[in-house]
Structure 1
Amino acid sequence: MFLFELLTLGFVFNNVDIASFPPLAFIEVASTVQQKLLNSLPITGYLVKEHLSWDIHRLNIFSELYDPIQIVCNYLDAYDRHGLNVNDVVLYSQNCIKKPLPDQRCRDLIAKYFFEGNADGVSSFRFVEIFVDVLADQLTRLSSSAYFTVENLKLTINDETTLRTTLVNALIDVSKDFAIRSVKAKAAQLESTSDDYDAKFEIVQWDASNHLLVFFMSQHPDSICALYREKNKVPDNVKEFLRSHNMAGPSKWELEDYNRMPSDLLLERLECLAPRTMYPLDLPLYALSADNITKMALILLRARANVPVVVMGEAGCGKVVEVNYEPFNLHAGIKEQDILDFMDMAQKKADNGELWLLFDEINTCNHIGLLANLIAHRTLQGKLVHPNIRLFSACNPYRKRVKAQSQTGIKTRIRRYEEQNNLVYQVKPLPDQI
């Protein structure tokens, strides 16, 4: 009643106290599946509503040369003009780019290389941000690498004419996959909650992807590691580059097959990708495979770009084992103050260095709105979290049961032992911003 009076009359009073606000006011309602919360509020039917839809022309372009959008668009501009193999894209040093690209040129490039063939379902600037941040981090490392300058490539490999284009194309594909698969995962969740759901729900898996994953090593940033699922799909010019930088000599080099590589060698490859120290690491025993080392590399790509990670999978599939983290186990009994206390502790620890946080079973908690803002926008109660904090979360899929567990003639006798809820897991749907 208080909110109704305030919004319709513009003021409320209680004895001698009067409260009012200017004629123009904006109301934020938490995003829910099929906007059930918005539709449950009768007062919203009497207010003026304007539906905001996605429009690439409303994308804000920053003019700072070191902004991720400018970094990405300068590379895309050279890629689009077929000049990537002719001239270096210099981001730092005296010969760096001096003038930012025009706003409209940036929008056109993002529309061409991100939205082309993938515009359906992209309804948020968040997906563009994921694409840009991940790609900008990789392109910055590419630009800083002495091995990948145009002149040095001419000295090291024979077929250097297309290598830079091949690498950038691979980086674009992987960065695009990060965002597009988020869209597909959201679409799968919405389909699973509809009334005519017919058991076609599938978790969007990285197993179906065979993009060449070019990864710049932490200890040797000038060098790359190529991760792939099928070795016969690695481009020839990438093979030649890897052969030319083989420590044992080009004649003894052979493209590795990660599917047949023993666990200890996979661990060595992972140590080349991730660590920031040259000292020996005391790592727990873990059975590595080609599948989970690829997933760990993908997680690390997002962590480097400070993009939050949400891992969805069936119970017991090993989601939380993929990440070394400071855990916070969520459940329906968790209070909002518990989350605030955990983050307060984490903010203090982050003063000493990078800190990885994992929110497990995120969609079992009743405070999913608070967690959604934290994970998607890195804000807590309207304030940005510490820049040293990396955010991860794990959840089970939200989907309905498709049939009763018991189909036998004694169904009436065991009915009371069957799960009464129509969900496979007792979880809530993820908000759109995650």
Structure 2
Amino acid sequence: MSRDFSTRSLVVSEESPTQVFQMIQENEPQEENDGIIEQYQMRRTWESSPHPYLFFNPDHHSMTFLGFNIEKGTRNLIDLQTNEILEENIMEKNLFEALSRNKVNLTENVDALPRHEKILKLCNVMGIDMAHDPDPTYELTTDNVKKILAIYMRFRCGIPVIIMGETGCGKTRLIKFMCSLQQPPGLEVQNMILMKVHGGTKASDIIRKVHQAEELASKNAKEHQNMDTVLFFDEANTTEAIGVIKEIMCDKTLGGKQMELHQRLKMVAACNPYRK
């Protein structure tokens, strides 16, 4: 997960790899090109990369793992998405056997799990005591589970969350399901504010929405423990005031002045891939 946090994707829609390398070669001496190209090649996209996650749960005595298996005979770390060996002999035999005796299934396939067990995994990592299914119509694939947990861990670490994807691919629904999981079962609590950004959105509109979200986050934190309030900027890249969103989300400032936002207020920006 730390590698996911620190690794950006290379390819952007308006530039093919050939154009990128031509641009490098035109602007840099030849001896520097190899190092720069190698840096670009190290970067990766979500879809083409393995995501083996191991979480130490907030209860301080259990773990949750996703996206990998450990083979019984070789004890190799196997990625479930690609079936490639990520690391050989990652675990000593006595540790593997001890974990097995303690009912830790190290060869589990999350896709094959019943829906309620997937939700239980999510709740264990997020520290939610009362596991429930807030939306039975939402398809909870392993990929969606991983994305929800990756976003949640970014919230915990204070890392800005930006989701990129075409219109209608499920960005808003993913965040909505994640927020609904934190709501107490049977209670209708608003802990997500959706701001549909468009070409006419002004900086003042964004600032007003942030203040509204902060008030809601403060209220939710008092009434419901361990609940985040999420402000979701949908299609954030369609406004000329995107610099204000960037400043608030990344710098925690407004007009250059420090903002003291409520610690339970989290922000997510969604953007569509750029098209020339």
> Is residue 388 of structure 1 aligned with residue 248 of structure 2?
no
**Partner of residue 377, structure 1:** 251
Which aligned pairs between 1:96-115 and structure 2 lie closer than 5 A?
none
**Partner of residue 113, structure 2:** 261
> Following the alignment from structure 2 to structure 1, what is the Cα–Cα distance between the partners of residues 271 and 152?
19
> Following the alignment from structure 1 to structure 2, what is the Cα–Cα distance between the partners of residues 242 and 274?
26
- What stretches of structure 1 move > 3 A for 4+ residues in a row? 194-197, 229-232, 238-246, 249-254, 279-282
The one-character-per-residue Cα deviations of 1:355-398 (angstroms, maximum 9, x if unpaired) are 22111100011211111112221222323241332111111111
The Cα shift of 1:250 comes to: 4.2
Closer/same/farther in 2, CA of residues 222 and 338 from structure 1, 3 Å limit: same
**C-alpha contact 2:116 2:133 (8 A) present in aligned 1:** no
**C-alpha contact 2:195 2:232 (8 A) present in aligned 1:** yes
- Candidates 143, 157, 176, aligned match of 2:3: 176
Closer/same/farther in 2, CA of residues 268 and 339 from structure 1, 3 Å limit: same
Name the structure, 1 or 2, with higher relative contact order (CA <8 Å, separation 6+): 2
> Following the alignment from structure 2 to structure 1, what is the Cα–Cα distance between the partners of residues 53 and 275?
31
> Is residue 191 of structure 1 aligned with residue 15 of structure 2?
yes
Which aligned pairs between 1:198-209 and structure 2 lie closer than 5 A?
205-209=45-49
**Partner of residue 215, structure 1:** 55
Closer/same/farther in 2, CA of residues 340 and 250 from structure 1, 3 Å limit: closer
**C-alpha contact 2:230 2:268 (8 A) present in aligned 1:** yes
The Cα shift of 1:290 comes to: 1.1
The Cα shift of 1:254 comes to: 5.3
**C-alpha contact 2:195 2:233 (8 A) present in aligned 1:** yes
Superposition RMSD on alpha carbons, in Å? 3.2
**Partner of residue 147, structure 2:** 295
**Partner of residue 226, structure 1:** 65
The Cα shift of 1:334 comes to: 1.5
> Following the alignment from structure 1 to structure 2, what is the Cα–Cα distance between the partners of residues 252 and 388?
33
Structure 1: gaps of 5 or more residues: 1-173, 198-202, 401-434
The one-character-per-residue Cα deviations of 1:127-181 (angstroms, maximum 9, x if unpaired) are xxxxxxxxxxxxxxxxxxxxxxxxxxxxxxxxxxxxxxxxxxxxxxx21332222
> Following the alignment from structure 1 to structure 2, what is the Cα–Cα distance between the partners of residues 231 and 206?
22
Question: How many aligned positions are there?
Answer: 215
The Cα shift of 1:302 comes to: 0.4
Opposite residue 376 of structure 1, the aligned amino acid is C
**Partner of residue 240, structure 2:** 366
**C-alpha contact 2:210 2:231 (8 A) present in aligned 1:** no
Under a length normalisation based on structure 2, what TM-score does the superposition of the two structures give?
0.66
- Candidates 204, 211, 227, aligned match of 1:344: 211
Opposite residue 247 of structure 2, the aligned amino acid is N
**Partner of residue 244, structure 1:** 98
> Following the alignment from structure 2 to structure 1, what is the Cα–Cα distance between the partners of residues 215 and 4?
34
Secondary structure of 2:233's partner? Answer: strand
> Is residue 283 of structure 1 aligned with residue 134 of structure 2?
yes
Opposite residue 210 of structure 1, the aligned amino acid is P
Between Structure 1 and Structure 2, whose CA radius of gyration is higher?
1
- Candidates 164, 169, 172, aligned match of 1:317: 169
Structure 2: gaps of 5 or more residues: 22-42, 72-76, 79-88, 180-191, 222-227
Secondary structure of 2:47's partner? Answer: helix
Structure richer in strand, relative to its length: 2
Which aligned pairs between 1:327-338 and structure 2 lie closer than 5 A?
327-338=194-205
The one-character-per-residue Cα deviations of 1:392-430 (angstroms, maximum 9, x if unpaired) are 111111133xxxxxxxxxxxxxxxxxxxxxxxxxxxxxx
Closer/same/farther in 2, CA of residues 239 and 342 from structure 1, 3 Å limit: farther
**C-alpha contact 1:360 1:393 (8 A) present in aligned 2:** yes
The Cα shift of 1:261 comes to: 2.4
> Following the alignment from structure 1 to structure 2, what is the Cα–Cα distance between the partners of residues 371 and 298?
21
**C-alpha contact 1:332 1:366 (8 A) present in aligned 2:** yes
**C-alpha contact 1:229 1:259 (8 A) present in aligned 2:** no
> Following the alignment from structure 1 to structure 2, what is the Cα–Cα distance between the partners of residues 238 and 318?
41
